[in-house]
Structure 1
Amino acid sequence: MSTFIKSIHDETLLQVHISCPLTKSNVPAIIIAHPYGPLGGNMNNNVVIAMQRHFVSKGYITACLNFRGCGKSQGRTSWTGQGERADYMSVMNYLLDKYPNINQLVLSGYSYGAMIANSIECTKVPCAYLLVSLPLGVMWALATTKMNEFKKQPISHATLCIHGDHDQFTRASTFLNWCQGHSNITHICIEGADHFWYDHEPELIDQINHWSLNIL
């Protein structure tokens, strides 16, 4: 189902694709956010599509959004990530209001989408964070003066930080340092994969599946 919702930031109309299982019992949900719009990012992305298909097969409610200025969403990309942060929160609020049977929510994203997801606070239902190729090495360019809001680690929620050892934007040691000292964060580095995951999508999904089965 494709729909449009208003961002709580400025009522910008956002394009959202939602898939919902037929069951009416308690069900988990996931929001999947895409890479940076000005560099071609949108929900029609190899990683976003692979994740969406996987979680649909597992019976999740899934929501993929196009941030402002991407796809058929209105507006333009912000310089600080604040507009996109509000966009993500708008989708979260919409899901939890429309589907009161959601009993668990995964806040996820890939690249820039992971940066945005990492900044969202979730208190209405049990939550976890799934961060694919979090762009730690270039947050200064993506969020400018607001970088620290997106770089902090989730304190108490189960979190997966997964990346390739050939990531072009963030060193493996930077990922490791970000994850160290936090027992709630699972750190996985995929050998041979880079930031874009082409031909490594199956390995990515296998690791995500293993984590979700053991954590969620």
Structure 2
Amino acid sequence: MEQTQTAPFTLQTITDLHGPAGRLEALLNTGSPDAPYCVLVCHPHPLGGGTMHNKVVYHAMKAFQSLGLPVLRFNFRGTGLSEGEHDNGHGEQDDVRAALDWLEQRFRLPTLFAGFSFGSYVGMQACCSDARVKGAVVLGLPVHAEGRDYEFKFLSRCNAIPKLFISGTRDQYGPTAQVESVVENATPPHELVLVEGADHFFVGKLDEVQRAITGWCNTNFLSVAAQ
């Protein structure tokens, strides 16, 4: 049975999330009191203007929250009001782990992860072998972006959790053939949704992204939790 929540949720500013580099600016979109999972969403590259307020990150949050799940977003070190300095994706993995620790302490629930672009690359390295994470959504998987190359060999060593990859067929940073190769080499189970005509930022296609996320959640997690 598909689940949709209509209860009024709130937005909370989180002031007690700290990583190794200092305090991390964060927001919590609350969920249903009986939510079976909590969610962590990570933003794209800070040097390209990425923050937790990015449109793709926001719409991913809305998809999860529409199902009654609490969602934590935060700014990586050196971004927005977060302390520390950008660390080229290395220290940022520790920021993700700090966020997972915070969610565990706050909710005592299994976690679902979602990351967009750089956020997916950094987040998956921290999350895909963490027993607390039971599912992952990779949005706009980057292969080569703004002079940066990304390697995803680590996905073959991930836990066997459901993984949803969502990419646009016109993604300038993730050509379809290369994305398909990355997904094929990832530990199953995995699913790839190609959004026809979408670029890296899913301009004009964010409703399709939300539907893909909610459908995946209902199929893999919420229908089971409701039984």
For normalisation by structure 1, the TM-score amounts to 0.87
Shift of 1:151: 4.3
Task: Find the aligned partners of 1:198 and 1:50 in 2 and give their Cα distance.
Answer: 12
1:113 is aligned, of 113, 119, 127, to 119
1:55 is aligned, of 59, 64, 81, to 64
Amino acid at match of 2:24: L
Task: Find the aligned partners of 2:130 and 2:142 in 1 and give their Cα distance.
Answer: 25
2:178 is aligned, of 174, 180, 190, to 174
User: Which structure has more strand as a fraction of its residues?
Assistant: 1
Task: Find the aligned partners of 2:107 and 2:38 in 1 and give their Cα distance.
Answer: 9
Matched, 1:88 2:96: yes
SS in 1 for 2:39: strand
Amino acid at match of 1:116: V
Matched, 1:132 2:139: yes
Q: Is the 8 A contact 1:19 1:62 kept in 2?
A: yes
**4+ residue stretches of structure 1 with deviation over 4 A?**
none
Amino acid at match of 1:136: V
1:14 is aligned, of 24, 33, 41, to 24
1:213 is aligned, of 202, 218, 224, to 218
Amino acid at match of 1:98: R
Matched, 1:157 2:161: yes
Q: Report Cα offsets for 1:140-168 as digits up to 9, x if no partner.
A: 826xxxx65x5421341110111001011
How many residue pairs were aligned?
205
Amino acid at match of 2:100: M
SS in 2 for 1:166: coil
Shift of 1:19: 2.1
1:141 is aligned, of 148, 170, 187, to 148
Matched, 1:64 2:73: yes
Structure 1 spans left out of the alignment, 5+ residues: none
SS in 1 for 2:62: helix
RMSD between aligned alpha carbons? Answer: 2.0
Q: Report Cα offsets for 1:37-85 as digits up to 9, x if no partner.
A: 0110001111111111221121101000111111211122112x11111
Shift of 1:138: 4.1
Task: Find the aligned partners of 1:189 and 1:157 in 2 and give their Cα distance.
Answer: 20
1:30 corresponds in structure 2 to: 39
Task: Find the aligned partners of 2:23 and 2:123 in 1 and give their Cα distance.
Answer: 19
SS in 1 for 2:38: strand
Structure 2 spans left out of the alignment, 5+ residues: 1-11, 222-227
Change (3 A) 1:91 1:139: farther
For normalisation by structure 2, the TM-score amounts to 0.83
Identical residues among aligned pairs (%): 22
Amino acid at match of 1:127: K
Shift of 1:116: 1.2
Task: Find the aligned partners of 1:188 and 1:215 in 2 and give their Cα distance.
Answer: 15
Task: Find the aligned partners of 1:39 and 1:107 in 2 and give their Cα distance.
Answer: 22
Q: Is the 8 A contact 1:164 1:189 kept in 2?
A: yes
Change (3 A) 1:86 1:128: same
